[in-house]
Amino acid sequence: MNKDKEAEVFRSHRKLVNQSMAATKACYLIGCDAPTIRAHSISNKRLLLALSKDGHVMHFDRNSSDWGSLVETGRNAATTFQGMCGDHDKIFHPIDNYDYSIGNKEQEYLFAMRAAAKEFNTRRGMVHATHERILTNQTQDFPLSEAGLAMMENMFQPGFDLGLEDQKVTRRIFSDTYAKGKYHVIETAVMVVDEELPMAVSSTFNMELAYDGTLINDLSPDNYSNRMKPFFLTVFPQDGKTYVLMSYLRRDRKDYDFLHDLDKLDEKEKRIIVSNMITSYTENFTAEPEYWMSLNDETREKYSDLFASSLDPGHRPLVTDANFSLFPSDQTSK
């Protein structure tokens, strides 16, 4: 397929996804029927403003078939999602208006909850889009082939549906515990890097392998029915350092206990770990434009390769490339 045709197919698919996102928008808090707003999944006031240049940040290009590409985006539009109502979006005041303090359970809980809300909103929309594609395939601008439709029905749809059910469980946990102030349901391991990474990340995913290669979540089709153990990642620069908040449900602490040892590693290892996690597992992040454009050619090539490899079958290691770093101090001229 040539580039023009590929772009045309992508735009058609994106139109379907956007329609599904609009059709499924709702507040994350169970029982709330208030209209949603375009809420930020990364703090606009505290982080996006600091990372912006002339009002813009680098953000994932949702309108391109090159999913590893970033484009300049107005900071008021970057990282927004329609998954919170105006009143409930105000619950994030403690992380939007105050710097993070290590050990602040309320802040750590809210960072995790915001990442979960964004993922739930996206997952619900994608499930709707998948069902719509299957039901209306022949009326779409670019219908799937018989083989492609069978793959979507037999592989992608079951995985998406079960993934949404997992997200619903997480949503119920957050809705119930927030109302009761039970912030201890979330545990957080913090890794601090003594250098600012001009990026901000808010993401939920199912980490597959621990640092030593131990299996945490098996995402292969044969194990779709297994309960996933969600992982909530928040990364941001603050006062000359980079804070990496690695959160999980307290009931999954046995699988994620190793995270508390990562801050004991040397600075180089920590820079590599967070760089690999961001590239292999996340899409919801922003970067300061001048910094992103200054990345050397080797880093850019590795970033593209790592991002692409994250779509390959098999379990993703926590560190795929032991020499890959996005940090400014590791950008040498090539």
The domain segmentation of the chain, as residue ranges, is 3-330
Q: Would you place residue 69 in the very low, low, confident or very high pLDDT band (cuts 50, 70, 90)?
A: confident
For residue 223, the model assigns a pLDDT of: 75
Q: Which of 8-17, 57-66, 118-127 has the highest mean pLDDT?
A: 118-127
- The alpha carbons of the chain give a radius of gyration, in whole angstroms, of 19
What does the alpha-carbon distance between residue 191 and residue 131 come to, in Å, rounded to a whole number? 40
Mean pLDDT value across residues 39-51:
96
What does the alpha-carbon distance between residue 221 and residue 313 come to, in Å, rounded to a whole number? 10
Distances in Å between the alpha carbon of 330 and those of 201, 269, 271, 296?
20, 12, 9, 9
Helix ranges (DSSP H) in the chain: 3-24, 49-51, 86-89, 93-96, 105-135, 146-151, 157-180, 253-256, 267-281, 289-294, 297-309
Dihedral over Cα of 80, 83, 88, 93: its sign? negative
Least confident piece of the model among 43-47, 128-132, 148-152, 211-215? 148-152
Backbone angles phi, psi at 248, to 5 degrees: -160, 165
Is 315 a residue whose pLDDT tops 70?
Answer: yes
Percent of the chain with pLDDT over 70: 95
Closest by CA to 208, choosing from 185, 191, 180, 231, is 231
Q: Would you place residue 154 in the very low, low, confident or very high pLDDT band (cuts 50, 70, 90)?
A: confident
Q: Would you place residue 58 in the very low, low, confident or very high pLDDT band (cuts 50, 70, 90)?
A: very high
